[in-house]
Structure 1
């Protein structure tokens, strides 16, 4: 397990100054400096510089943030998840992923499997796509807030009737999800800058449905599947995504990362609980061989005794008395 954290050990040390990036609910990132008070494997205790964070900045257990360091003149960033709070200024952070150049890093991203519906826009303008997204987004948010169908219908009447969408459904879509975009593995390809309507089914409690519109940034070469079909990894940035829905995306990322960390912790406990078998020394082997030899000799002697006993068993006291009486009787019978 030690090799898994060699990069962290080389990059981080107790007393080192790091930059902490905390996501804001309204978008953007709040950055503050902190000092590492303890560093062990992927676990950090960081004391932030401020006594009190601004009112719009909130950090709770399960929040994902970034940890940045300077190596030479370059800034490198790694993702982390808050696993504990010790007072108001000390955060316990578990790192995941690798340190990468900050400008190349995609912020808050992780792999997962979700139910997704998508539609590649072919003949609608950007304005039309945005208006239709507004309708779907408002309807879903009213449903999640508990409004009945009559109120929802009355509210939707003020919007222009949305165009019908030919949704394509992926029940278990492989994707990489972040606060700013998504890389979705699709059975069909798309063109750069093309718009894609998206429905993300997030398995929260209760389940939530996020409506978004992505703009294609890149498409990787197709991957041939076992059945001969192709799959395309289509990278998109979120062109239209409500900030409340972005919070739901962050929550889903946090849930996936916490589950991942829990699996790692369980694996560590199993490895710690396993006692490695130490090979026997020559002396131990010789002693065990002698004990085996003694056991075999005793077993042989016992077997010989049982065999001889079964062939000529010793006379009991009753048998001896009986035979003596018979001999005495025969002796008296022979006398005149």
Structure 2
């Protein structure tokens, strides 16, 4: 019977050579080979092959990586998160998700629910779209950096939007978020190459808002809801995105995945406790206890046999008979 880790054992094992993808803060992914030195369920200990990594490549606990293995001519990829650094090149990684055969993505993705605002851009000039985005982005960064409201208002008053924005507010949007783009479920059908303004309200601590302009790449067939309305899963690529905001997206992905792993760990711990709050025994512990019980029963049986054959009264009777025979012989 297969367990939840059987898929990982199918693709990974000690001594195997795998590929690790590490996200770069400026965008893109650095890839290097690594060797699996230890594997346990959904955890791997790997050693990166290079002695010295490029200066722009860094990773820490909580970083999302991808783990790729080659099977024949195909590449299967799974996501992972760094849970421990055992040395400069040695990492302990916990896998999540499934190995899938796919083209390599530039960034990592995760399913999330958050507030999103979007606006469909009409036939505005590219330079106007970019300038309006710059203003919104700098406005948000100034708020987070603690500038006075009057200073921010004076700075923003210098710019007049080329086109008023009509935001569509999705309070609890379901989306697939990555450093390269987003797949968002919206109630309107748009066309490929359509530009859209987007606000991502990241539930970080403190909360942050990312302003970006996206370009529609693909639209999936519509989904009909119970009320008869339709929703369209729309894949979008970031067309204008500040690298500081891309780092925030990576941070949100890491925070969400760590929280998910914590819930899984809590669930596993609860599953190991019986109804009386006692920790359940593993199959190996059960077998060991049964073996000790069998040994005790065997010792008890042997001791009973010995005691049943030994009786103090029999010894006294034998001694009396020997003494009587000796007395008669003397007579």
TM-score (norm 1): 0.78
Runs of 4+ in structure 1 over 4 Å off: 157-160
The answer for the alignment partner of 2:217 in structure 1 is 217
The answer for the alignment partner of 2:136 in structure 1 is 136
Give structure 2 stretches of 5+ with no counterpart: 275-279, 287-331
Deviation at 1:21, TM superposition (A): 0.9
> Which residues in structure 2 correspond to 1:105-184 (within 5 Å)?
105=105, 107-156=107-156, 159=159, 161-184=161-184
Residue 268 of structure 2 is aligned to residue 264 of structure 1: no
The answer for the alignment partner of 1:249 in structure 2 is 249
Deviation at 1:23, TM superposition (A): 0.5
Residue 40 of structure 2 is aligned to residue 70 of structure 1: no
Contact 1:135 1:162 survives alignment (8 Å): no
Contact 1:21 1:30 survives alignment (8 Å): yes
Deviation at 1:104, TM superposition (A): 5.3
Contact 1:77 1:105 survives alignment (8 Å): no
Q: Secondary structure at the match of 1:103?
A: coil
Deviation at 1:264, TM superposition (A): 1.3
Contact 2:23 2:107 survives alignment (8 Å): no
Q: What's the CA shift string for 1:127-186, capped at 9, x where partnerless?
A: 321211111011111111111233334444554544210001011001111111111111
Rounded to whole Å, the distance in 2 between the matches of 1:162 and 1:54 is 42
Deviation at 1:122, TM superposition (A): 2.1
Rounded to whole Å, the distance in 2 between the matches of 1:2 and 1:107 is 31
Contact 2:17 2:36 survives alignment (8 Å): yes
RMSD (Å), alpha carbons: 2.0
The answer for the alignment partner of 2:41 in structure 1 is 41
Contact 2:70 2:76 survives alignment (8 Å): yes
Rounded to whole Å, the distance in 2 between the matches of 1:32 and 1:154 is 49
Rounded to whole Å, the distance in 2 between the matches of 1:265 and 1:162 is 51
Q: Secondary structure at the match of 2:135?
A: helix
Q: Secondary structure at the match of 1:254?
A: helix
Residue 56 of structure 2 is aligned to residue 25 of structure 1: no
The answer for the alignment partner of 1:98 in structure 2 is 98
Rounded to whole Å, the distance in 2 between the matches of 1:6 and 1:73 is 22
Rounded to whole Å, the distance in 2 between the matches of 1:104 and 1:221 is 24
Rounded to whole Å, the distance in 1 between the matches of 2:33 and 2:178 is 24
Rounded to whole Å, the distance in 2 between the matches of 1:93 and 1:231 is 36
| Rg larger for | 1
Rounded to whole Å, the distance in 1 between the matches of 2:223 and 2:104 is 25
